[in-house]
Structure 1
Amino acid sequence: MPGRLFLTTPLPEIAAFLGADAAGLAPDPPRHNIAPGQEVLVCPPDRRLTRMRWGLIPSGRVNARGRPVMETIVNARSGTVFSKTAFDGVARALVPADGWYEWTGQKRRKTPWRISRLDGRPLAFAAITDTWQGPGGIAVAQVAMVTCPPSGDVANIHDRMGVLLEPEQFEAWLTGDETAAQALMRPYPDGSLTVAEATDVDWSGA
């Protein structure tokens, strides 16, 4: 949808893939289990790589008592990302990864699946970003992936997938108008992804 990500490609190669600047950003060790709530690598419209918290708390939302709503949006549906008030004022970005994980089966007997490009190249997820202003002046840069219906490669695993973009589409997503961005929110081409059972991942941490 994606549920969790993995990223092991070195930072300079990711920067080259995104056409981005990684100056001043310390490289991460290989990450085989990136969960919501953790920091992920993000490429904003200025193409200067940064890190943000995966999970978006819609800015300005308050409950009946006037307290900030703490609900976290990890993935935003493509059909509502430009219309829901929860996403007012968000910016667009790319989140690179080597792939993601999904699960099938019954509770406590679920099977994890690793999904990646068939040719082994990195992936770029379409994403939205915002800064959550919390109590006491806390400011948290945050990101959520945009999802769409699944391609044929992953339809048996999940009924949604992240919107995946090619390098020639990056600029349209990052800086194009709403019409141009909406045209990109479609399933990845069939035959481009590989799905394999993930039996070698430590799910207890990243």
Structure 2
Amino acid sequence: MCGRYALEATKSELWERYLLGEMKEDVEERAEIFPTNYTPLIMPGNELVHHKWGFVEPFAKRPLINARAETILEKPTFSQPFRTARCLVPATAFFEWEKVGDEKLKRKIAVADIPIFSMAGILKTYQDENGNPFSVFSIITTAANDQMRAIHDRMPVILEPEDEAFYLDQKADPKLVWKLLKPTEQRLLIE
């Protein structure tokens, strides 16, 4: 599960991190991003766009903010977006709640040596009541790694920087891209 994350990075830091082209849109540093917020994504061609977080399926009571890596190639809601509309979700941390006795403690989790990391995302386009298209995204999750397991059994897929271009390559074989959807081996910083 990944229900909130942070992107405390400036426009120039994102530009440098992702070797972005011309950036028309401003970027707001955010200590906490919630489902249904508009937030920056990195698209193929290193283009930065802003989209809303959470698929809006008619059968779902609330936005679908996460997609499970294990079933993403089979689930109709997520399969086509994974095959044809992958994106990077830049973050500086994500949040998870650890159950300690009767309490739930909010933990902020960052990646030790990657100040701005990329979570694997997928994009889906819908039509509003007037027939106008709009796009939203979901974050792919996987089983927790050893560090995360004490807090939660799931975590977002955090891509290695050297795998980001392949993940964004819409011509790449989805079955090969799927192999990137695993728990990170990077050291996490947990507050």
Q: Same fold (TM over 0.5)?
A: yes
Q: What is the CA-CA distance between 1:70 and the residue it aligns to?
A: 6.0
Q: Which residue of structure 1 aligns with residue 10 of structure 2?
A: 10
Does the CA contact (< 8 Å) of 1:77 and 1:147 recur in 2? yes
What residue is the counterpart of 1:20 in the other structure? 20
- 1:50 aligned residue: 49
Q: Where does the alignment leave 5 or more consecutive residues of structure 2 unmatched? A: none
Tell me, yes or no, if structure 1 residue 97 matches structure 2 residue 91.
Answer: yes
Query: Are 1:152 and 2:158 counterparts?
Result: no
The answer as to 2:66 corresponding to 1:75 is: yes
- 1:107 Cα deviation from its structure 2 partner: 11
The DSSP-based 3-state class of the residue aligned with 2:130 is helix
Answer 1 or 2: which has greater helix percent. 2
Q: String of CA shifts for 1:124-171, please: whole Å, max 9, x gaps.
A: 001100112122224321000111111111111111111111221011
Residue 16 of structure 1 deviates from its aligned partner by 2.1
Aligned-residue Cα RMSD (Å) equals 2.1
The equivalences for 1:103-182 within 5 A come to 103-105=97-99, 109-119=103-113, 121-175=115-169, 176-182=172-178
Using structure 1 for the length normalisation, give the TM-score: 0.82
CA distance 1:22–1:144, change in 2 (3 Å): farther
Tell me how far apart the structure 2 counterparts of residues 130 and 9 of structure 1 sit (CA, whole Å): 25
1:43–1:94 Cα contact (<8 Å) kept: yes
Contact 2:117/2:161 (8 A) holds in 1:
no
Q: Hey, what does 1:193 align to over in structure 2?
A: 188
2:36 is the alignment partner of 1:37: yes
Aligned partners of 1:37 and 1:55 also within 8 Å: yes
More strand by share: 2
SS of equivalent to 2:13: helix
3-state SS of 1:25 partner: coil
The offset of 1:104, in angstroms, is 2.1
Paired with 2:119 and 2:126, the residues of 1 have a C-alpha distance of 21
Which residue does the alignment assign to 1:204?
Answer: none
| Counterpart residue type for residue 38 of structure 2 | E
Q: TM-score scaled to structure 2, two decimals?
A: 0.88
CA contact (8 A) 1:125 1:164 kept: yes
Partner Cα separation in structure 1 for residue 156 and residue 163 of structure 2: 15
CA shift for structure 1 position 88? 4.4
Shift of 1:180: 2.0
Q: 1:45 to 1:107 in 2, by over 3 A?
A: farther
Unaligned runs of 5+ in 1: 64-68, 197-206
Give 1:111's aligned amino acid.
L
8 Å CA contact retained: 2:35, 2:63:
no
Aligned residues: 186
Aligned equivalents of 1:173 and 1:45: distance in 2?
9
Aligned twin of 1:87: 78
Q: Is the 8 A contact 1:53 1:140 kept in 2?
A: no
- Alpha-carbon distance in 2 for matches of 1:9, 1:94: 15
